[in-house]
């Protein structure tokens, strides 16, 4: 899979893309990442990528010409999305990552800055808007990195133990269960006895109960959605 990052700050991605599972996946050729700077496509002597909004207002907007030119300079693979990172976009979630990982050959990610981008970028260039959450950050590179990471880790070969992808949080509509490792006792706090019993059926039941209870306590919205899905499946 090919990732194209349209960013004013390519250096932002240098360390994250060389670290951990992401770095290993890129080294193995599971995906490729390319950074393209809109500033390289400006035509004025100051390489200006922003300007004042028509009608007045606070702050500056990213100009359309450099963004269009940067995206149009890229090769076009058969299955492609051009995504704009913006607080106004659809919230990212595991289902979004799964869909993109399973259906795309190329993901182009436009990193916004300043007060946003000229609306013509939204209307005529990008195919989807995504958000990290209901808050505002200083740049689009942070959510872009989250999107890249979330999609890349689902590509075959990135995670060695693919079973782990099936049992983690959100995959079954529930949060993950509590997990423990050695020592069995730490500062008087014990690992639950059932996990040390060797009874795999009992462990499985305990884990499922913990998933349900944890989701109910921490994310009642997910719990309600999970319950609705169960009712739908039984009708």
Tell me the per-residue pLDDT of 8-67, one tens digit each, with 9 for 90 and over. 999 999 999 999 999 999 999 999 999 999 999 999 999 999 999 999 988 999 999 999
Pair 34, 135 in one domain: yes
Residues of the domain holding 178:
168-233
Bridge partners of 5, per DSSP, are 35, 109
What value does the mean pLDDT take over residues 192-197? 96
- Boundary (domain end) residue, out of 117, 152, 187: 152
Q: What is the pLDDT of residue 163?
A: 53
Strand pairing partners for 91? Answer: 131
157 annotated as a binding-site residue: no
Q: Output the pTM of the full model.
A: 0.87
Number of domains in the chain: 2
Confirm whether residue 136 is marked as ligand binding. yes
137 is in an annotated binding site: yes
Residue that terminates a domain, selected from 128, 152, 176: 152
Residue 168 reports pLDDT greater than 60: no
25 & 90 share domain: yes
| pLDDT at site 161 | 56
Which CATH number goes with the domain that contains 85?
3.40.1280.10
My answer on whether 72 and 172 are in the same domain is: no
Shared domain for 59 and 174, answered yes or no, is: no
Q: Is 56 annotated as a binding residue?
A: no
What is the 3-state secondary structure of the chain? CEEEEECCCHHHHHHHHCCHHHHHHHHCCCCEEEEECHHHHCCCCCCCCEECCCCCCCCCEECHHHHHHHHHCCCCCCCEEEEEEEEEEEECCHHHHHHHHHHCCEEEEEECCCCCECHHHHHHCCCEEEECCCCCCCCCHHHHHHHHHHHHCCCCCCCCCCHHHHHCCCCCCCCCCCCCCCCCEECCEECCHHHHCCCHHHHHHHHHHHHHHHHHHHCHHHHHHHHHHHHHHCC
- Any binding-site annotation on 198? no
Question: For 111-122, what is the mean pLDDT?
Answer: 94
225 occurs within a structural domain:
yes
Whether residue 135 is annotated as binding a ligand: the answer is: yes
Quote the pLDDT of residue 49: 97
Q: Is the pLDDT of residue 6 over 80?
A: yes
Distance CA 141, CA 132 (A): 11
Specify whether 55 is located in the same domain as 144.
yes
Quick one: 24 and 127 in the same domain? Answer: yes
């Amino acid at each position: 899979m090919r990732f194209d990052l349209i960013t004013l700050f390519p250096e932002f991605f240098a360390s994250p893309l060389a670290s951990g599972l992401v770095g290993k996946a890129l080294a193995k050729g599971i995906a490729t990442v390319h950074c393209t700077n809109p500033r390289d496509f400006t035509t004025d002597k100051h390489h200006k990528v922003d300007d004042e909004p028509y009608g007045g207002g606070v702050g500056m907007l990213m100009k359309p010409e450099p963004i269009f030119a940067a995206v149009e300079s890229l090769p076009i693979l058969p299955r492609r999305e051009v995504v704009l990172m913006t607080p106004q976009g659809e919230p990212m979630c595991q289902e979004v990552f799964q869909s993109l990982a399973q259906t795309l050959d190329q993901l182009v990610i436009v990193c916004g800055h300043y007060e946003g981008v000229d609306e013509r970028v939204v209307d005529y260039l990008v195919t989807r808007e995504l958000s990290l959450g209901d808050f505002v950050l200083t740049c689009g590179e942070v959510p872009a990195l989250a999107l890249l990471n979330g999609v890349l880790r689902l590509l075959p070969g990135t995670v060695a133990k693919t079973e782990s992808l099936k049992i983690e949080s959100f995959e079954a509509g529930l949060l993950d269960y509590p997990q423990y490792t050695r020592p069995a006792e730490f500062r008087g706090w014990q690992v639950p006895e059932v996990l040390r019993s060797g009874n795999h059926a009992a462990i499985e039941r305990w884990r499922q109960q913990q998933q349900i209870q944890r989701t109910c306590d921490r994310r009642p919205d997910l719990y309600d959605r999970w319950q609705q899905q169960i009712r739908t499946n039984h009708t």
